[in-house]
Amino acid sequence: MTAAEAKPSQADYNALRKVRSNQHVASQTLARRQLQARDKIKIGMLLGKLHRAAEGKEELTTTQAMACKILIDKAIPSLQAVEQSTAEQEINAGAVAERLQAMLASPHILAAILSDPGIRAQLQAALAAAPVAVTQPLDPSVIPASA
């Protein structure tokens, strides 16, 4: 064995350092998972205690019940009711007519609209005062990017 074979190279040190750093990350991940598992077990025990108290199998003081509730609320987010409301918007016929007129003034948009058979049928039906259901949606690839 020569002296060069006995002494580890810098590449060997780097490889060893990389393995150790990966082990460190893996051990941190393992520790974090263990803590999460312990927290889940503790929360499960608290839920079980509250469940037994609700069934009358176990007695809890008010302080114990409130402490269980606080700890559970910290670990498990409670579902809150969300009120959703929609505001009725009045349709201003004048504004809609102005926007439609501006859109139809562009030859690219007008060509895209008239090339769609569903829209063409609806326009013809609207002009004849007999509305028709659209059978084919507008293909977005027909409208040019400059529109």
Residue 79 has pLDDT above 60, yes or no: yes
pLDDT tens, residue by residue, 88-127: 777 788 888 888 888 878 888 888 877 888 888 888 888 7
Q: Is the pLDDT of residue 147 over 50?
A: no
| Distance (Å, whole) CA 41 – CA 128 | 70
- If DSSP codes are grouped into helix, strand and coil, which group holds residue 117? helix
Inform me whether the pLDDT recorded for 85 exceeds 80. Answer: no
- The structure tokens listed for 112 are 């895209």
The domain locations on the chain are: 9-75, 101-142
Summary mean pLDDT of the chain: 75
pLDDT at 123: 80
pLDDT at 5 over 70: no
C-beta separation of 114 from 105 below 8 A: no
